[in-house]
Structure formats: C-alpha cells, structure tokens
Amino acid sequence: MATDYRPMWTKLGLDLEAHDALLEVLGNMYQTTYLSQKNRPKGMGYLDFVMGEVHGLRIQELENAKAQGRKVIGTFCVFVPDELIIAADAISVGLCAGAEFGFEDAEKLLPRNTCSLIKSFFGFKLNKVCPYIEASNMIVGETTCDGKKKAYEIFKGIQPNLYIMEVPQMKNAADRELLKSEFIRFKNELKNLTEVTIDAARLKKGIDTVNNRRKALYRLASLRASDPAPISGLDALLINQVAFYDNPVRFTESVNKLCDELEQRVRDGEGVFPKGTPRVLVAGCPMAVPNWKLPAIIETSGAVIVGEESCVGERGTQNLVDDSGTTGEALMNAIVDRYFKIDCAIFTPNESRLTHISEMAKKYNADGVVHYALQFCSPYSVESYQVEQALLKEGIPSTRIETDYSQEDLGQLQTRIEAFIETLKS
C-alpha cells in the first residue's frame, strides 16, 4: 500500500498494532499461497491489486461514499439480497471470517466447540482489526445455523447495529412467504437507514448489477471445464471471495476481461497444470478470505480444482433473478424466488444440493469430489454422508474432510488428500 491509511484506520477505531500483525500474516500467506503459483493469467493482476489494497483503497472508497451520504451494509450470508442494498443506493460488503485471529478472546464469549467461521468474526471484532465491520452502518445477521443464530445474540452486545433477518429452514409455501416477508422487512429497514424509497426502477438496477456479476462468474466457471484448466482453483476461489466486497460493476468488468484471456488460453490449449491433471470439485462450507488451506493442499498435491460448490462459489451465485417484471411487486417476487432456491445445508430436506453437486462434477469434468466441512459445523458435517451416498450412486469418488482454521492438521490433511488424488489417477 503506497498511501498511509493509518489515520483512517485510527478514525475507524482499529487497534493499529493488532491490525499490523494481521496484515503481516495476510501478506505472507498471500505471497506463499498465491504469488508463488505458476502460469497465472495476466488478468489476476487486478485481483492482486485489490488484495494488496483490501484494507486500504477499498475502505477509503467506502468512507468517501459515506461522506457523500451513502450507507455501507455488512453481511455474513448469501441470503442477504444485494439487489435490495444496491436499490437503496447503499454498498454491500461481505464480512469475511476466514482467519484464526483473536480466537482466545472469542472463546471467552463462545464455547470452544464453535466453528472457526463464527469464532473468526468474533475475533476480528474483539481485536478491532476489521475495517469492514467498523465501516458498516448496519450489519445483517441471519437465522441460518444454530451456531450463528445464537452467537448473534452475544454479538449484538458488542455490535449494536446488528440487524437479524429470519431465514426459513424448509422449502414449503409457508416458508417462501416467510422469506418474502423478511425481504420486505429488510427493504423497509434499508429505507429507514438510507431514506431511499426502493421503487421498480431502482429494483431493476439492483437486479441487473447483481445478475451481471453472476453472469461473469458463470462465464469463469464454464471455462474451467476445459482440460487443461486455464486457471487454478485457488485463483478462481479468490475471485469468488473478492466478489463480496469489490465494487460490483468494476469487478464484473475485470472478471469479463480475465475471461477473454482465459478463452484465448482454452483455444491455445494453455493451462495452469498439464492436461490430464486429476480434477477435483470442492463442496461444502464457504471459504472466506484468507481460508485457502485446503485448496492450497489440493493444488500442491497434484490435482486442480475445477469448481466450488459453496456459498463462496456456485451455491452463492447459481440462478439469476428474473428481470422481466415491470412492477415493484413482480420484481420483489422474482428476488424472493431466486433466493428461495439457495440450497444451504441448514434446509431440511436438502435434495437439490445433492443433485447440484453431482451435476457440477459432471459439468466441470471432475474426477472426484472433496467434501469440506468446518469442525463443529453440524449442517455440513451431517449432510456430508448424504453427499457421499449420492455421489456413490453416480459412480463419482469422494472424500470427506473436516478441519478448522489452524495449521495443526496440515500434514494429516496432505496425506489424506494425496491418497485420494492417487485413487483418481487409476
């Protein structure tokens, strides 16, 4: 970062010493995990720049927008509709929670056997190291898994601008009605905060912006079906991670430009790993920045990741919002319909996720699936059995991994992943 952002971080209330420590860890991880990769597309230069400025220029942009009267909304879950946030002329930022930072403090408020993702956002807040949390005018929590739902009750005590959105747990008509009423309540809350009335034209703009971002990510995903894969899974994951906090229009343009380059690579038969490298689909819990542990192990163990069935991946982006409606009511219904299809493991039953994983494995020509669950995450850990059974029926090999954000199990994971990749070669 060329600019000195310390005055801005101080104003946001960050603990500069702890924040420096975090940035140092992040910088080193980025260097060893990302910048050491071979054959990266040139278009990744934009993502490297964004990551280099993740706590700098982007936060400055948010602060500048706030000075002009706009609001920043922090979110933890893909159930929060960005379309409504954009329609209210506000800015949506995903609050990443992918680092083991401040866990000691988090464990003073939460049981030790809480998943790393939840401990991470507590740790970031308690250690005052996340400028996105501090820059947000409103933070949206959701009633998805029990861990998050109950943790938000405690989080509200340290983050008073936390708003809770209810998310249904089944897919019946009454559940859709519940989701719709929650989206309407959220729309009203946004109006109170921003003083912007969300009409059909504003909704349409929000829908177009988010649909365009999704389309760019679909384009990227489909190019990864080629052998050799034109981009690494690590880089594709990073793009999906950055999607949560970058300016959506600028991000979409950059991804489309990168896809032009990848298309040329596909035409030239150029890839990040040799043709015939074993291909893996990763399915399961979302991987927030800088949770790159498992993908890094997979891609340094002789395989390439060709898709992510995750909320930081295709579960979070699949299905466009139908933009054909002309009234606010029709467009709101279209938004609800799209979000109601998200197949997070908090739903019961959750058959569509099982089908989607098999479909993705076939579409991206994966040789096998690595199912990833964070330790103490009941929804994904329990569902991993059904995923395994569904894949077995399709003749697709899979393995189930449970881990956390620590580095302690690196060796053990590496051994398991290497053994799985070996089976894919035969």
List contacts with ligand BJ8 (CB under 6 A): 77-79, 115, 117-118, 144-145, 147-148, 285-286, 311, 342, 344, 346, 374, 377, 379-380
Question: Closest approach of Cβ 363 to ligand BJ8, in Å?
Answer: 21
Question: Closest approach of Cβ 210 to ligand BJ8, in Å?
Answer: 16
Nearer to ligand BJ8, 144 or 241 (CB): 144
Q: How far is CA 216 from CA 221, 243, 252, 253, in A?
A: 9, 11, 6, 8
Question: Closest approach of Cβ 297 to ligand BJ8, in Å?
Answer: 19
Nearer to ligand BJ8, 354 or 374 (CB): 374
**Pairs from 328-333 (Cβ < 8 Å, separation ≥ 24):** 328/198, 328/199, 328/200, 328/203, 331/200, 331/203, 331/204, 331/207, 332/180, 332/183, 332/184, 332/187, 332/203, 333/180
- Please give the structure tokens belonging to residue 12: 């946001």
Nearer to ligand BJ8, 226 or 241 (CB): 241
Q: In whole angstroms, what is the distance from residue 143 CA to residue 178 CA?
A: 12
Question: Closest approach of Cβ 419 to ligand BJ8, in Å?
Answer: 25
Nearer to ligand BJ8, 77 or 331 (CB): 77
Nearer to ligand BJ8, 236 or 311 (CB): 311
Question: Closest approach of Cβ 214 to ligand BJ8, in Å?
Answer: 15
Nearer to ligand BJ8, 47 or 115 (CB): 115
**Pairs from 337-343 (Cβ < 8 Å, separation ≥ 24):** 337/176, 339/79, 339/81, 339/179, 339/183, 340/171, 340/175, 340/176, 340/179, 342/78, 342/79, 342/315, 342/316, 343/315
DSSP assignment letter at 321: P
Question: Closest approach of Cβ 337 to ligand BJ8, in Å?
Answer: 16
Nearer to ligand BJ8, 99 or 377 (CB): 377
Nearer to ligand BJ8, 147 or 328 (CB): 147
- Please give the structure tokens belonging to residue 178: 């519940």
- Measured between alpha carbons, how far apart are the two ends of the chain, in Å? 47
Q: In whole angstroms, what is the distance from residue 411 CA to residue 118 CA?
A: 25
Which residues, including other chains, have CB under 8 Å from residue 183's CB and lie 6 or more apart? 81, 84, 332, 335, 336, 339
Q: In whole angstroms, what is the distance from residue 103 CA to residue 124 CA?
A: 9
Nearer to ligand BJ8, 284 or 328 (CB): 284
Question: Closest approach of Cβ 411 to ligand BJ8, in Å?
Answer: 23
> Is residue 28 exposed (0-12), middle (13-18) or buried (19+ Cβ within 10 Å)?
exposed
H helical segments located in 73-141? 82-87, 103-109, 116-126, 131-135
> Distance from CA of residue 342 to its chain's centroid?
14
> Are the C-beta atoms of 266 and 226 separated by less than 8 Å?
yes
Question: Closest approach of Cβ 116 to ligand BJ8, in Å?
Answer: 8
Nearer to ligand BJ8, 8 or 283 (CB): 283
Question: Closest approach of Cβ 146 to ligand BJ8, in Å?
Answer: 8
Question: Closest approach of Cβ 145 to ligand BJ8, in Å?
Answer: 3
The 3-state DSSP class for residue 154 equals: helix
